[in-house]
Amino acid sequence: MSAASPLIEARGVTRILPGIVPTTLVHDIDLTIGQGEFVAITGPSGSGKSSLLYLLGLLDVPTSGEVLISGVPTSGMDEEERARMRLATLGFIFQFHFLLPEFTIVENVMLPMRALGRLSRPQMHARAGELLAALGLADHLGKRPDQLSGGQRQRVAVARALANEPAVILADEPTGSLDTRSSEQVFAVLRELVDRWNKTVVAVTHHMGFAARSDRRVELIDGAIVADVRGEARASGEALPTDRPG
């Protein structure tokens, strides 16, 4: 995709929380992200990383400015239209997997497909099984989340994010609750989504080892972009450190 037609574009995006003392989460953000990019959003705690991701993912609405998805402005959409856009175009991975414990992992992966309503139940089940198998979970399809390791649960979350074949995967600290080995596995999956499946991945992370192995690093401080660096991918052979405290 050319720079003239980005998958996601932020134009002058600002988000202010109202209150007695209003809080600015992000300020005057201009950002374009194209197909096949692996973008890491970095910065200190409280810099606006997650706030920016939620705005790009239509999980929050800017106070001013505009977010465009595949060239389509979203500011005039109602919540139903925004939800439909999210389901059809965007996949989400969070620090905690948020899998529903009462469902099997296949059923968890089917949930976004059921919400979008494009496939029959047999088609949804088949696609969920294929995604889980591609992520190394073919032997666990009938298990519930509490029967899996942390790394396996996060891979289920990746499969769920891919359920509706989104163009963009948005990840908020996707290795943030994992040990070193599981972090490496999840990073490898994200890397493969870009390199093999030509997906766009935008990931918030506080680990510079993760960021250095992406294709592009966008750094925020106090809600503003202070650096946008390309070409750092694979510059570091450093393994991902454990994200868990201690």
Q: Is 23 buried (19+), middle (13-18) or exposed (0-12) by CB count in 10 A?
A: exposed
Q: Which residues, in sequence order, are CB contacts of 223 under 8 Å at separation 6+?
A: 24, 25, 26, 27, 47, 48, 51
Residue 12 placed within a domain:
yes
- Encode the chain (246 residues) as per-residue pLDDT tens digits: 444 468 999 999 999 988 888 888 999 999 999 989 999 999 888 889 999 999 999 999 999 999 999 989 998 899 989 988 888 889 888 877 788 989 999 999 999 898 888 889 999 999 999 889 888 888 888 899 999 887 888 889 888 988 888 889 998 887 776 677 777 777 888 888 888 888 899 999 887 778 888 899 999 999 999 999 887 554 444 433 333 332
Distance CA 190, CA 178 (A): 15
> Is the entire prediction scored with pTM above 0.95?
no
In this predicted model, what pLDDT tens digit does every residue of 2-17 receive, in sequence order? Answer: 444 689 999 999 999 8
| Token pair recorded at residue 194 | 């870009």
pLDDT at position 245, please?
31
Residue 233 placed within a domain:
no
Distance CA 192, CA 187 (A): 9
pLDDT at position 239, please?
39
Residue 1 placed within a domain:
no
Residue 95 placed within a domain:
yes
Residue 143 placed within a domain:
yes
Name the nearest CA neighbour of 225 among 39, 18, 72, 37: 39
Distance CA 154, CA 137 (A): 11
Residue 238 placed within a domain:
no
Distance CA 226, CA 101 (A): 41
Q: Which residues, in sequence order, are CB contacts of 148 under 8 Å at separation 6+?
A: 105, 140, 156
Q: Write the CATH number for 19.
A: 3.40.50.300
User: Which helix (H) or strand (E) segment is 224 a member of?
Assistant: strand 224-230
pLDDT at position 54, please?
93
| Token pair recorded at residue 148 | 């899996």
Contact call for residues 170 and 90 (beta carbons, < 8 A): yes
Residue 181 placed within a domain:
yes
Residue 132 placed within a domain:
yes
Domain around 209:
8-228
In this predicted model, what pLDDT tens digit does every residue of 117-140 receive, in sequence order? Answer: 888 999 999 999 988 988 888 888
Alpha carbon distances (Å) from 188 to 40, 166, 169, 238, 240: 14, 19, 14, 13, 11
Number of domains in the chain: 1
pLDDT at position 104, please?
93
